[in-house]
Chains A and B, each alone.
Chain A
Amino acid sequence: MSVSKNKATNLLRSSEKSSLRRFLVLYFILVVMILSLLGTFYYQSKEKLMYSNQRTLLSNYAHEQIQQLRQLHQEFPANTVYPRSSEFRSAIYDIERSKIFSTLKSKNIYFNKVFYRKNGVIRFMMYLDDYYLGAKYLFIEIDEDKEWYSSVMRDIFILGTIILIVLGIFGLFFVNLFLRPMKNSIMLLDDFIKDTTHELNTPISAILANVEMMDLEVMSEKNKKKLARINIAAKTVSHLYQDLTYLTLDHNRKSKDEWIDLKKLIEDRVEYFAILAGSKKLTFELNLNYSTIFIDGIKIARVIDNLISNAIKYNKRGGKIEITLRKDYFSIKDSGIGIEAEKVNDIFERYTRFNSSEGGFGIGLNIVKSIIEEYSLKISVSSILQEGTTIRVDFLKGTVDDG
């Protein structure tokens, strides 16, 4: 059961993987947006706190400066030195907003703002009740705290990263939770196929063996036709059985690679499908050169069988199937209904069929794809609606006999 489960987890189709990717991207964007919003709130609250602290500090400086101005006013003109501090800079302006004295960095002064930040400095304005030295407005200025900014940004980055990781773990957990029903369905279907496959083997073998053994000489034409139909039906079921067996049992077995004579193999398989093709009055056109490939015999047979089977299944009555074999590739062309351009990429998905009018489980091309990928071969599909489909398999250098 654990094997089945492991297998099921690998059964996610590319469309499901794409949905998963989309969900994760969407989730990530949403999380980043929420975190940005939280970061902004955090920054603003810290900024507010910093300003509140700075305002208190500047207010204290202002009261300190007023005391100094009061003293200077009393001592004037014996003492004419304007009070200065290493902690802050200051300026005094009279009631007509005319400058009396200033140690500020900039001459630009705003009389309508009590507390403000501009060009890297923070300024605080205080009104004097007694106009010492004629001063009505006192400005206190300090440089902006750059440490504060980098400290807050560091906090936001560290906290944001931790939250992002935690939410990412939650996201993966939820994705798995949502996908579990989907995985279970696929696993159930696979289990069903696996169980029924076992039950198909014996009766199909018996039917095919007995059909082969029947004496056609003593049989009437009518019965010969009936027997041919039985043969076709049994071979169709046999083909399906082999696909299902490969999918559920043989898929995980170790490959037994050997040099396979493709020309002979294709000829054998064409002969095997001859009766089936004959039922739709299809003709084979074989253009086969000699070619060998280093591959597992059962697997390459599954590839050829599935491609020929599809070419028969989706062909029109009285059509033809052209099979070409060259040293480094083979192609199978039918004269059938064709595939819509936007659906070409989906045909290799499991449980996907060209069209629902034909029978089958839609697993054939999925098997082809898995074998092609295993041997790093290249498969390409070109199709024109109502004209036919060509499937070409290119061999990798090293797998073909160059001699």
Chain B
Amino acid sequence: MDKIIVLLLLTLSLTGKEISNTHEVYKKHCIPCHEHLPYSLEKIYMLYLKTFSGELTFKASLKAFLKSPMEETSVMPDEWIENFSVKEKTILTDKELDKAINSYWELYDVRNKLR
């Protein structure tokens, strides 16, 4: 019985650490740069959502852009590109990128907010 409790607590602590790590990537690698820009991350999320609609399409398109940013594939307005140019290619690994994008999607998902 004691063993089961120990194993359960261990699993829970690892899961908590995992969640914390997921948001950690997003917080560490996305927010610092974007918080100084005039377009909030939520505004950009809404732009992506308006362009790509579904979750899978959204995530795949964002990942593709972050790995290889180009003017042609950016959803930002022309004025934005002229003032801030296109961001640099990500330094995150695929796994880290997925974690960051998942955090981004979960954080601003309209399904959870519409009433």
Chain A contact residues, CB within 8 Å of chain B: 73, 76-77, 80-82, 94-96, 98-101, 130-136
Contact = CB atoms under 8 A, between A and B. Distances in A.
B52 A133 contact: no
11 contacts: A76-B110, A77-B108, A81-B115, A94-B55, A95-B52, A95-B57, A100-B110, A100-B111, A130-B50, A134-B53, A135-B53
Classify the secondary structure of B's interface with A: helix
Contact of B49 (A96, A99, A133): A133
B114 A101 contact: yes
Closest 4 pairs (CB-CB, A-B) = A96-B54, A95-B53, A131-B53, A94-B54
A133 B111 CA distance: 9
Interface residues of B, number: 18
Given A73-B50, A77-B42, A133 B110 contact: yes
B57 A96 contact: yes
Contact of B115 (A73, A82, A95, A132): A82
A212 B111 CA distance: 125
Interface string B71-115: 000000000000000000000000000000000000010110111
Given A73-B46, A131-B49, A96 B114 contact: no
Contacts of A96: 53-57
B114 A133 contact: yes
A101 B110 CA distance: 9
Contacts of A77: 42, 108, 113
A130 B113 CA distance: 20
Given A96-B55, A98-B55, A80 B114 contact: yes
Interface in B20-77: 42, 46, 49-58
Nearest to A81: B115
A101 B111 contact: yes
A136 B53 contact: yes
Contacts of B56: 96
Contact of A80 (B51, B52, B113): B113
Nearest to A134: B49
Given A76-B113, A100-B110, A134-B53, 19 more contacts: A76-B46, A77-B108, A77-B113, A81-B115, A82-B114, A94-B54, A94-B55, A95-B52, A96-B57, A99-B111, A100-B111, A100-B114, A101-B111, A101-B114, A132-B50, A133-B49, A133-B110, A134-B49, A134-B52
B114 to A, nearest CB: 5
A71 to B, nearest CB: 13
Contacts of A95: 52-54, 57
**In the complex, which of the residues B50, B55, B57 has the most CB atoms of chain A within 10 Å of its own CB atom?**
B50
